Structure 1
Amino acid sequence: MQRYHSILRRYSTRSALPADFQWFPRFFNPTEQHALLSAALRKLDVAEPTAARKRRRDFLVSHQQDRLRDTGDLKDVFLPDEFYHFEEGHYDGVIKRFRETRVSSWDDEKDPVFRSALGRLEVLCPNAGRTQTHLLHLASDGEILPHIDNVDASGSWILGVSLGSDRVLRMESLEADSDCSPRHTFDVTLPSGSVYIQRDDVRYNYKHSILRAEPIPAQVTPQAQGQRLSIMVRVRFQLVPILREIMNTF
């Protein structure tokens, strides 16, 4: 608990944000970001169709020398958009141009940088309990429309790690403070390496969305167009304790 509060003091930014929304704009350094992004992309890649995996292998072979040069730019970890099998739309219509997968275990546990980054992230989770991890990779023109995550599948907090291109997270309350006032809305630009936590009131009473990136000039190369990957950690919805509490009232 002491380490958790130390992390909050060191990394969080609270100005003009609701009490139930925490933002850590510089949580992971570039080396940690590279380790997390590479591990997440490998997880997503193995879940794709064979044709997409073959296109990537062919591209990497033909561009091997270029890829060996370390530019220090995290965006260079991504391949151009056309070498990924992005879905055009989610089953509920909320997400556009994306790849996603669930993570039950990682293949990079022996990497000390990855292990350290993951350990710090675990300390940041608001409370102990079973969690579920989800990877979401947005294409350069991908977006997430306003929604509230399924309250029957996960609990009172959601943690998001942003890797890659900066995107704007928009939070909009379901109800206005009064009949005459607009709904409360705030935007947060999420740089690579940042972490945010939405919990309790903001978790249940605010819709969140990831805005589409600004139009890209024609001279910008496809590889630098702004893909974004997020690592989403949610606490599982725990039905048994709730049922026990209800039964104890009778």
Structure 2
Amino acid sequence: MRVLPGFISEEEETALLAELEPVLKRMRYEFDHWDNAIQGYRETERSTWSVGNQAVLGRVRAAAFPEGGRDAELLPSAHVLDLAAAGHIRPHIDAVRFCGGVIAGLCLVSDAVMRLAHETHKHLALDALLQRRCLYIMSGVSRYEFTHAVLGGEDSVWRAQRVPRRRRVAVILRSRPPPQPQP
């Protein structure tokens, strides 16, 4: 798990949000995710971006998905997750059938605390502060062996200081899943 603070500028964040808000504003926050992992969210996929935002996502690709690596091929669309101020994401490991070995997300609008906990050895855990405009990258052990959750409300604490949770938007790029064996 890597967190790169200040990965994008305030102007770049504003440009990403300007492109996303018209779509997000037409959606309602949901409280019944298909696998019950997310509460209070809106989500969409986006494959086309303005030239400026393509450049920002190009920097994400370069930082998180090295060329020639086995996870260099990305899913065609970015996943956009808008988490309401009262929303949260429960501990989970993203299914291998939906994405490959690298998940990289830009954290927009608000800081958040992400908790990672080993799937079988729960005492192995850490909290990561995802500051507004950071890039987080999950790969290897953090991708496959640790659950991740975005804390909500009273649980949102970093180094004994409460992190006020407001609405949070994440733009997430994922590597393509490995081919699945045919039955």
* TM-score, structure 1 as length reference: 0.62
Aligned partner of 1:230 in structure 2 is: 170
Instruction: Please tell me whether the aligned partners of residues 100 and 134 of structure 1 are also in contact (alpha carbons under 8 angstroms).
Output: yes
1:211 aligns with 2:151: yes
Match of 2:55 among 105, 116, 126: 116
> Which residue of the partner structure matches residue 31 of structure 2?
88
Question: What is the aligned partner in structure 2 of residue 187 from structure 1?
Answer: 127
Relative to its length, the structure with more helix (as a share) is 1
Q: Distance in 2 between matches of 1:234 and 1:118?
A: 12
Task: State the distance in 1 between where 2:137 and 2:63 align.
Answer: 9
Which AA in structure 2 matches 1:234? R
Going from structure 1 to structure 2, the CA distance change for 1:31 and 1:173 (only over 3 Å counts) comes to same
Q: How many residues align?
A: 168
Residue aligned with 2:147, SS:
strand
Aligned counterpart, 1:135: 80
Say if 2:152 and 2:165, in contact at 8 Å, map to a contact too.
no
- Residue 151 of structure 1 is matched in structure 2 by 96
Q: Distance in 2 between the 1:102 and 1:115 partners?
A: 15
Q: For residues 58 and 89 of structure 2, what CA distance do their matches in structure 1 show? A: 28
* Offset at residue 150 of structure 1 (A): 1.0
> Quick one: higher RCO (CA 8 Å, sep 6+), 1 or 2?
2
Flag as ranges the 4+ runs of structure 1 deviating above 4 A. Answer: none
> Displacement of 1:45 after TM fit?
3.6
Considering only aligned residues, what root-mean-square deviation do their CA atoms show, in Å? 2.2
SS at match of 2:36: coil
CA distance in 2, matches of 1:91, 1:185: 26
Q: What is the letter of the counterpart of residue 22 of structure 1?
A: R
Aligned-partner residue type, residue 126 of structure 1: F
Counterparts in 2 of 1:37-52, with a 5 A limit?
37-45=17-25, 48=27
CA distance in 1, matches of 2:102, 2:93: 12
Displacement, 1:122? 2.2
Q: 1:225 Cα shift? A: 6.8
Q: After superposition, give the CA deviation of every residue in 1:32-58 in whole Å (9 maximum; x if it has no partner).
A: 111112222234345x3xxxxxxxxxx
Using the alignment, how far apart are the partners of 1:154 and 1:119 within structure 2? 19
Q: Distance in 1 between matches of 2:36 and 2:91?
A: 10
Distance 1:166 1:214, change over 3 A: farther
Alignment partner, residue 106 of structure 2: 161
- The match for 1:97 is 40
Q: Is residue 174 of structure 1 aligned with residue 119 of structure 2?
A: yes
Q: Deviations over 1:50-95 (max 9, x none)?
A: xxxxxxxxxxxxxxxxxxxxxxxxxxxxxxxxxxx11122121110
Scaled by the length of structure 2, the TM-score of the pair is 0.83
**Unaligned regions of 5+ residues in structure 2, if any?**
67-71, 156-163
What is the CA deviation profile of residues 150-208 of structure 1, one whole-angstrom value per residue up to 9, with x for unaligned ones? Answer: 111211111111001111100001123xxxxx521100111110011110111010000
Unaligned runs of 5+ in 1: 1-20, 49-84, 177-181, 216-223, 244-250
Q: Which amino acid aligns with 1:186?
A: L
Structure possessing the higher radius of gyration over alpha carbons = 1
**Could you tell me whether the CA contact under 8 Å between 1:89 and 1:98 is conserved in 2?**
no
